Chains A and B, each alone.
Chain A
Amino acid sequence: MTPMLVTERVLAVLPDYVNGVDVSPDGRHTVAGSVSGHVCIADVDGDVRMFEAHDGDVVRAKWSHSGRFVATCGIDGALRIWDLAGSLVAEAQHRGWATDLAWRTGGDEVAAGIGRRVVRLLANGMKSVQHEEFPASVECVTWSEDGRRLFAGHYGGVAVFQGSAKPVKTFPWKGAPLVVAASSDGKWVVTGNQDASLHVWKVANGSELQMTGFSTKVLQIAWSRNSLRLANAAMNEISEWDFSGKGPKGSKPIGMVGHSGRIVGLEYSPMDHSILGSAATDGSVCLWHPVKSGRSMLLSHQTHRSLSTMTWSPTSLRMACGTASGEVVSLTFGEDAEEQP
């Protein structure tokens, strides 16, 4: 493997810790939210629009699949949809803190966990479905890739919604999920948990698997595009599980250690599905090609910034990262690096 070039560029600077970052489907715009309540939208030409989006921390900021809108949610209990100019398009409010949000594929609809409820909002301002409150706060939400199912994790398990206000299924489990992700083939849903475990359900029949023994709670999980591999991070360690064939039952994961700080971002590159990217609080960014024998690491790069979040651009081998001091940083790898201005 020839060494890859890395080009680092600061796209914008927010007033404080960056909680969420996302790149638009065309790869041209980056959105980021801060605990200061500010959101910025930066484009590749260097233009930045910054605006106050929430009273208190912005928890998530994400592009709609159409690329027309940005959704943000905050600890003020608000879910808001903005256009590219930063004008408010729609909003919804519920009692409690927002914890997570996810756009549905096919349709400008967003779902967020706010307090004990999943709140759904359309870009035209309509609330699509009114869900009832759970007995505990919603910690995480995600859609199936076809947009038919919505999964909501809360203390006590995962609820599956499909069209109606009541869950079509619930996967009860006495634990506290923190993050949830569904495989793109729709077969599996997995949560990373407070008790340092992963919990996996087969969506069709609810059969479950549990992976335990991580050093800390699991805040990062990522599915490969082909649904055959699942990666997770706990503290500075990454594990990748093989979901081909009968699944990972009884198998050992591929372990990857390259960071010395807590991993704050973990995703497979949409451009090259064999590449797993990770970022950590010690400023390190790693690219991996997970293999059972030998070295999985392709590259390790030190940004000398305390990273707080990371995501890939959908159109190039480029990462967008947030930092604890408010910077939004773009990292371009390999041949793409030379194309940068």
Chain B
Amino acid sequence: MTEAESRVEAPGADYNFAYLDEQTKRMIRRALLKALAVPGYQVPFASREMPMPYGWGTGGVQVSAAVLVPGDRLKVIDQGADDTTNAVSIRKFFQKTAGIAVTGHTGEATVIQTRHRIPEAPLTEGQILVYQVPIPEPLRFLEPRETETRRMHALEEYGLMHVKLYEDIARHGEIATAYAYPVQIEGRYVMDPSPIPKFDNPKLRMAAIQLFGAGREQRIYALPPYTEVVSLDFEDHPFVPGKAEGACALCGSETSYLDEVIVDDRGGRMFVCSDTDYCAGRRAAGHVGAEGAAAGEGRA
């Protein structure tokens, strides 16, 4: 990333640091503290209208705005990549409104806002991972009513979810949920980890603080460091993370999550790392995949 490490000029006088006013940030921070105190519980918060559309990361942006301080270094990824359009747009938003330092390197970031992925490199204590969440309610597609699902969580009534997973096995031979795979937190709340591929689920127990923001649905939830996170499964059908078979064509990684790229109209395809920083780091360290030379520079 060429703009990495570049501090932009101070934010304009038109808006407060990181856009939100201090009262709003305080309201969000209260919700965050409650969420951290009751891991996996969805805390309602008075989500604001942001200058980007609902469904495009307004929850994550509000959470990031509430936790950012001037010394932070922000990384924004979408689908694992730093230069997908919406990640660029959100990063620019914070550069403009907070004058914050930004980076593409997972290890250098103090706050990482993400959509649909957890970085491959393990996060460390002191880092904060902020998720953009479209539908925070793991039971939503089993029960559309919020009044009902809140009651189900309160009573720890998760039978419906187990029945759904069982029906998957009966119909398909396995649990047919590939992303937003439900997890249970410290044996209590069933939580939607946001639409990350289930490949990422094992990483949910980590050293960093994880904050989840759903703007349109007005919910915040959180996982403190090292919280126990269990992907729902059955003894005879244990949880399997799963990913595309094969190795990254650019860096040769066989353990990272891969995106499939269609290269021609005759069924040709290749796989590349979804985490662009991880891939670039490996290539910089000398790892080369099957098509690494052809890819050249400038993809990171």
Partners in one complex: no
